[in-house]
Structure 1
Amino acid sequence: MDLIALYTGGKDSHYALIKAVQEGHVVKCLLTAEPGRQDSYMFHAVNARWALLHGQSMGLPHYLIQVSGVKEREVEELGDALAKYKRECGAEGVVTGAIASRYQKERVDRLAERLGLRHISPLWGKNQEELLLEEAEAEEFIIVAAMAMGLDERWLGARVGPEEARRLIELSRRYGFSPVGEGGEFETFVLRSPLLKRSVKILSAEKFWSPSGWGYLLIKEAALS
């Protein structure tokens, strides 16, 4: 099936592409939404536009849209963009990296049904600890936001391989957060994977850390290498 991907540049949306391709689907284009608010219910706000490098690396059309970030309104804005770009891409379905968030999945389900698309969610319902370990083996990614108790400033910019994934699982058990960051406890950015013909190199980045115990890594400059 020809697919349009709702894509953030993070580990879950990217791993969903890997799984979709393995299942025989063809990803025709990528769609990334950049919300106008940090507290968006649907979309990653940190470093969203740098996901465009992934589209370049994969040789795929990649569309960046601006959405309000306002609850429910941003869903309708996404629907308008999906209607436009599904025609341009010739897509029959939409693929997402949803794992456990019913809020996000149900809204994409409704949009897909309205637009005559099939929603493909290859990560949905997977054991989250096992999934994180799979992702750490399949792709190289860094943490770009740490919002959960138990994740300190040292995690910002940290590359997550199998050893770091096991440490995240330990911390998630101790502090009670999702080991894959499904609730926004942390966000990631992919640097290398089998789908990327060229890896991403971060040339400049700046850390922001709040006294309240959360923070993010803002990518200032990056390129394909």
Structure 2
Amino acid sequence: MRKKVVLSWSGGKDSCLALDVLIKQGYEVACLLTTVPKEIGRTFGHGEKKELIQLQAKSLSIPAEFIYCTFEDYSERFVSDLRKIKDTYGITGIAYGDLYLDGHREWGEKTAAEAGLDAVYPLWMEEKDSLKALKAFAESGYKAKVIRVREDVLDSSWLGKELNQDFVSKIEDEPVCPMGESGEYHTFVYDGPLFYKSIQLDSPVVIQLETTKKLEFGEFRLAEK
């Protein structure tokens, strides 16, 4: 019997790589789980529109579930909703796409335990291996764009860049984690081996946020591959 898990899903490269690894390891991913703070009405991790997460889920043929919370009750609401999802889908664990930040893993393991679930970290590695992980993504067949950058480390010229070999060679020269593990940049995956349809992203505009710049797509739809 395959282990059934829910995957914490941001829509970016890390969660997509985690999905790919989980499936190759024989897990059944019952649903994709995304948190949406009520204060902003967008995904917690990347500030992305819910509609784009729903398009990814549809293309992957995996249900999307959203946890609506506030910044104050984030952990409490996460655990509460995770218990409900556990009962609904019959899952035994929750998987995360974190790479090497111990604080993130401690939080994930704590909340999973409180919900009566195992915490699974399919991508866990040493910090020195992050460049290798980025190269693996660039060679994986998945397609992703940079949709958000931290202005203190990367300028807006990085927005919209594809995560390909050219990106790998250029990010190596920057004073950041190659995988953006500390939020230096965020991505959106729009196609790849597990996607039944690709996501067409059009009408991009750059918006200014408090400490970041974000690439917004005014139009998006599923397209045949």
Which category describes the TM-score, using the shorter chain as reference length?
A: 0.7 to 0.9
Distance apart, 1:34 and its partner CA: 1.6
Distance apart, 1:119 and its partner CA: 1.0
What's the CA shift string for 1:77-119, capped at 9, x where partnerless? 1111111112111111111101122222111101111222111
Letter in 2 for 1:2: K
The match for 1:220 among 208, 218, 221 is 218
Other structure's SS at 2:71 match: coil
2:185 maps to what in 1?
A: 186
1:164 maps to what in 2?
A: 167
Counting only pairs closer than 5 Å after superposition, residues 51-66 of structure 1 correspond to structure 2 as: 51-66=53-68
C-alpha contact 2:10 2:46 (8 A) present in aligned 1: no
Letter in 2 for 1:152: D
- Between 1:14-23 and 1:160-169, the stretch displaced more is 160-169
1:114 maps to what in 2?
A: 114
* 2:97 is the counterpart of 1:97: yes
Distance apart, 1:53 and its partner CA: 1.1
The sequence identity of aligned pairs, in percent, is 26
Letter in 1 for 2:149: A
Counting only pairs closer than 5 Å after superposition, residues 1-225 of structure 1 correspond to structure 2 as: 1-36=3-38, 43-49=44-50, 50-70=52-72, 73-126=73-126, 127-138=129-140, 139-171=142-174, 175=175, 177-209=176-208, 214-225=212-223
C-alpha contact 1:152 1:214 (8 A) present in aligned 2: no
Q: Which stretches of structure 1, 4 residues or longer, exceed 3 Å deviation after superposition?
A: none
Distance apart, 1:184 and its partner CA: 0.9
Other structure's SS at 1:122 match: coil
Q: How far apart, CA to CA, are the structure 1 residues paired with 2:177 and 2:205?
A: 26
Q: How far apart, CA to CA, are the structure 1 residues paired with 2:158 and 2:170?
A: 11
What's the CA shift string for 1:10-58, capped at 9, x where partnerless? 10011101011111111111111122457xxx94142151111111111
Other structure's SS at 1:170 match: coil
Distance apart, 1:156 and its partner CA: 0.8
Q: How far apart, CA to CA, are the structure 1 residues paired with 2:49 and 2:100?
A: 21
Distance apart, 1:69 and its partner CA: 2.7
Q: How far apart, CA to CA, are the structure 2 residues paired with 1:136 and 1:48?
A: 24
C-alpha contact 1:9 1:48 (8 A) present in aligned 2: no
Other structure's SS at 1:166 match: helix
What's the CA shift string for 1:151-202, capped at 9, x where partnerless? 221211111112212211221xxx2x21111111111100111111111111
Gaps of 5+ in 1: none
Distance apart, 1:206 and its partner CA: 1.7
Q: How far apart, CA to CA, are the structure 1 residues paired with 2:7 and 2:74?
A: 17
Letter in 1 for 2:222: L
Gaps of 5+ in 2: none
Q: How far apart, CA to CA, are the structure 1 residues paired with 2:207 and 2:177?
A: 22
Give TM-score, length-normalised by structure 2. 0.88
Q: How far apart, CA to CA, are the structure 2 residues paired with 1:115 and 1:199?
A: 34
Change in 2 beyond 3 A, CA 1:159/1:104: same
Change in 2 beyond 3 A, CA 1:223/1:146: same
